[in-house]
A and B are shown apart, each in its own frame.
Chain A
Amino acid sequence: MAETAEVQCSNPACKVRIDGRCVEGLEKSKCPHYGKPLAAPASAGPVQAERNGIILPSGDLLDQQEASQLLRRGNSRVIAVVAPKEAGKTTLIASVFELFLRGPIGPFEFAGSRTMYAFERSCHPSRGVSRNARPETERTLLTTVKFYHAVLRSAGGDMLDLVVADRNGEDYRSAPDDTDVVREFVEIQRADTITFLIDGQQLADPVMRNTVGADMLAIAQALIDGGGIEGRPRVALVLTKFDDIARSTDADRASRDFEKIVGKFRTLHAERFGEIRSFEVAACPSDTSLPLGHGVADLLAYWEETAPVAVPKAASHVSSTTRFMYRLQGLPE
């Protein structure tokens, strides 16, 4: 009994006190909210007295509502990053911040972020201070979509809110099994650019090379058939962990495999997307043969390019969360 009474979490959405599970799927010791008093004054009660200071923004990942508020303030790009688990999704997103820590990325400069705390947490496994022997990919354990945010500015340009969605890879992996889940993928419906990741480490693996492309193409098909693609968003097909391919004795074969996957994607889906472009990226190479963030600048430039205006087409089913996003953005429901 005593133990139950002590359980607390500053995230109002988390029911860890009731079901013992972190809403973000994190271990309790790793959750930045666990063990802290509830942030919301309405239900804080006696717990509030333990925090005498003024509660500041969490700096953590944004939920849908917070992301929508950001999108309303002006120039923005929404990026969906689609991949099964452990394809380097979070590492890729975090590498943008890691590169800004070292200077501008191509023409883009850092002008702020609402999710610095989340970026820092995600960068940790790739930093020397983690004492990892090689850069690790932190698995995304979210139970729902969350968003990273950074403000970019290029010389003489306006501010641009870059909002990058992060979702558990298992959600995307399950889409070909049951396309109904796609209805809840608000980040896909809203994305200016959908970024599909192809795991380079797996593509260089003689056993897994045949399934990597098939898995990604199946997910893309599920997103289309499940009604997730609104308008004609742009697509980035990204070969991740390119350093693993560069070191592989089968590097040429892996590159040809990637070209085949890209070719097949174009053949199958060119009409559904505004533009399809491929990239080779080593967001956090495990040795110094390639620079940190190899290929990320080109991808960021593609993300920033103005997308054609996407008018949502009538869908057989539009979820309440999607309608909520449309309302906030002034788009027809």
Chain B
Amino acid sequence: MTEKSQGSVVICGLPASGKTTFLAALWYVVFDKRDLNARLSFETLTGLDHSHLNAIMRRWLEAKEQIHTEVASGKIVSMNLKDGAGRKVQMTFPDLSGESFQEMWETRECDQKLAELLRGCDGILMFVNADKIKRPIGVAETTQYAEKLEDDEAKAVATEEWHPKLAPTAVKLVEMLQMFRCQALQARATRLAVVLSAWDKVEEENVTPEQYLASELPLLDQYLRNGSDRWDVRVYGLSAQGGDYESEKVKDDEERNEKVAEIRALDDASERIRLFTPEFSRDLTEPIAWLTA
């Protein structure tokens, strides 16, 4: 009898970075699709509660946006998987709200449960929405832009007090990773997979995920390459949906609705998935297999 080992990957990222969508698509690839070529494959449902995974997978299959994960409703999900050599592994992932990670930057506090997961995990999967990267813009650039607009209203606005939530994306992400290494958390994992989600929005720029990271998040790129916190990094581009999904908030966007219909009409739902390693793949278990190898 093959003994089952335990694996744990912490999925982190700021709000709306695609964490839940990834889990939904991963569960589809593993459980529904049963892709025989995947690095990790389904073993059994026995002994685990799959209600959350099944619920988010259903929304993914229906091409409906995932419901925002509230801080208090964060779930820890597990899958019984096996690798190419037949070794069984029970893989655990937290599906936590992005606010849990944002709060680490803003309030300098970490949820106890998250801290335990970080200390015990084998690898870290960090999601960054490639289409929603907030870069720093100087006053001079903003003023020049406003002058071009010749918009008096744009020029005459009240000044805004500083709040940590205003920080650029790269600052929040670098600090998040530094915090994982701090004395209070001491995350032991060394492997870090940076997943640039919503890759379909930037794919036409024809750059590799590494190049995109270096160009859009230079601070994070420098921090990771210079290795002061000993991260072993891989950068992925991922489109786990294939485009925008049906949204409760945006109902009258005809172009979007047409795109959603196209996605639903695909013969095989796995065709929505585009992973770049940088080579093209549809195997969402690849980053998990690497993180836990």
Contact = CB atoms under 8 A, between A and B. Distances in A.
A54 B110 contact: yes
Interface in A278-296: 284-288, 292
Contacts of B166: 124, 127, 129
B147 to A, nearest CB: 10
Contacts of B188: none
A111 B227 contact: yes
B222 A100 contact: yes
B159 interface: yes
B144 interface: yes
B229 A292 contact: no
A interface, size bucket: 35 or more
A13 interface: no
Interface residues of B, number: 49
Interface in B161-192: 161-162, 164, 166-168, 170-171, 174-175, 178-179, 182-185
Given A54-B115, A101-B171, A124 B162 contact: yes
A57 B159 contact: no
A127 B136 contact: yes
A123 B105 CA distance: 16
Interface stretch (A130-138, A176-184, A302-310): A130-138
B157 interface: yes
Interface stretch (A76-84, A114-122, A207-215): A114-122
A269 to B, nearest CB: 35
B155 A123 contact: no
Contacts of B112: 52-54
A117 B164 CA distance: 8
A134 B136 CA distance: 15
Interface stretch (A15-23, A102-110, A217-225): A102-110
A101 B219 contact: yes
A215 B54 CA distance: 71
B138 A110 contact: no
Contact of B139 (A51, A58, A120, A130): A130
B228 A284 contact: no
A5 interface: no
A156 B128 CA distance: 29
A128 interface: yes
Interface in A133-168: 133-135, 151, 153, 159
| 3 tightest Cβ-Cβ pairs between the two chains A and B | A128-B142, A111-B226, A53-B109
24 contacts: A29-B161, A53-B107, A53-B110, A53-B115, A54-B110, A56-B110, A57-B182, A101-B219, A103-B222, A111-B228, A117-B164, A124-B162, A127-B137, A128-B139, A129-B160, A133-B143, A134-B143, A151-B228, A153-B226, A284-B138, A284-B139, A286-B139, A286-B140, A288-B144
Interface of A: 29-30, 32, 36, 51-59, 98, 100-104, 109-113, 116-117, 120-121, 123-135, 151, 153, 159, 284-288, 292
Given A98-B138, A134-B143, A135-B138, 15 more contacts: A30-B161, A54-B109, A54-B115, A56-B182, A57-B108, A58-B108, A101-B135, A101-B218, A111-B223, A120-B164, A124-B162, A127-B138, A284-B139, A284-B140, A292-B138
